[in-house]
Amino acid sequence: MRLFNSQSQQIEEFVVDDDNVGIYVCGVTPYDTTHIGHAFTFLTFDVLVRYLRFQGYNVTYVQNVTDIDDDIIRKSRERGMSWRELGDSETNQYLTDMRNMNAIPFDHYTAATAHIPEMIELIQVLLDKGFAYQAGGSVYFSVGKSADFGKLSHLPQSEWLPTANERGNNPNDPNKQDPLDFVLWQAAQPGEPTWETPWGEGRPGWHIECTAMAQKYLGDTFTIHGGGYDLIFPHHECEIAQAENATGKAPYVQYWMHAAMVDYQGEKMSKSLGNLVYIRNLLQEYTPDAVRMSLLDHHYRFRWEFLDEDMPRYAANAAALAAAASQVSGGGEVLDADPYRERFLAAMDNDLDTIAAVAALDALAEEIMQQPGADTRSAQETLRELALLLGLTLENSLVA
């Protein structure tokens, strides 16, 4: 199997020391879920975990929910509800949507607010080692003391600050020694939730949350870290800096994987723009398999645009696979599905090429339908087995 590693920017052989694979995926910030861009990212990793387990790996699959965050606080005020109510409601919506999309359950689904002690402990280590400093009741990571900062994103240093500023950094914080330094612990603000720490009351910074949770469930170093492409910088870059400087162990992650952004109506689909296509709305008209097919028709690393007018075609494609799986078998010569299986597995081994994998399923389904007199039972079993690796149920019913 070969996977593209965002850090090396190359497709690499997937090699691990044993059969244990730890996967951490940055999950939703629950204030506006679940849109097709979310689904593209999280169902990519759903397929990855399914395939690795099929290959015999013992996978521990961790996903987090960033349930305390500037955006949640802002959005909860706009909606006239508490941050906790908003977070719980949107998290439940996300989990419902993922179940409806036949996503496999996580081994650990971790909420940031349930791991404050781990964050405090990690921040203290960074302070003790001189990579962090206190100021104004907050604690900051000193980016200048992290020797190889930037090694994941490969961004020119001149682009670090502008990019970070676009993605939540406050360069005008008077407590910072450098505008690029990022918050590990944020001092209490009026009307915001707080937790008690050795540095006073406050709440965690964004980046420390994921590092603390990943280390708790997967150890100081682990196999695969995933998320959306927009998390490479600064979020995942900062995670590396925190983890490797705290533990002295590198690499923090063996393979970094990032799913591309999804456009809609000519722009990146995003909460801030409001151009969202929600999974719950699509599932009122289309089956989970049809929605899955719309995602599988795009390679996870390449940006694409969701088009409403494409959905009937994906629905027809899903229906054709379901029809082939349920076709009554004849009693003639046994239909050999091995060539299609080989095509499918070769596609999946090639950096999760779901486009080619679906093409192999389509070809097998067409062969089954064109040979009504053949004994297709084994071929149909192969079709169902391989389809399930992509999360397809081969059922034609809508979500109840």
Per-residue pLDDT, 400: 66
pLDDT tens, 93-150?
999 999 999 999 999 999 999 999 999 999 999 999 999 999 999 999 999 999 999 9
Question: Please, what is the average pLDDT of the chain?
Answer: 96
Question: What contacts 275, CB < 8 A, 6 or more positions away?
Answer: 264, 265, 267, 269
pLDDT tens, 212-249?
999 999 999 999 999 999 999 999 999 999 999 999 99
Percent with pLDDT over 90 in the chain? 93
For residues 115 and 212, the answer to whether their CB atoms sit within 8 Å is: yes
For residues 275 and 262, give the distance between their C-alpha atoms in angstroms, rounded to a whole number.
11
pLDDT tens, 175-225?
999 999 999 999 999 989 999 999 999 999 999 999 999 999 999 999 999
Which residues sit opposite 204 in a β-bridge? 185
Ordered domains of the chain (ranges, CATH): 308-391 (1.20.120.640)
For residues 162 and 179, give the distance between their C-alpha atoms in angstroms, rounded to a whole number.
10
What is the phi/psi pair of residue 31, to 5°?
-135, 0
Could you tell me the pTM of the whole model?
0.96
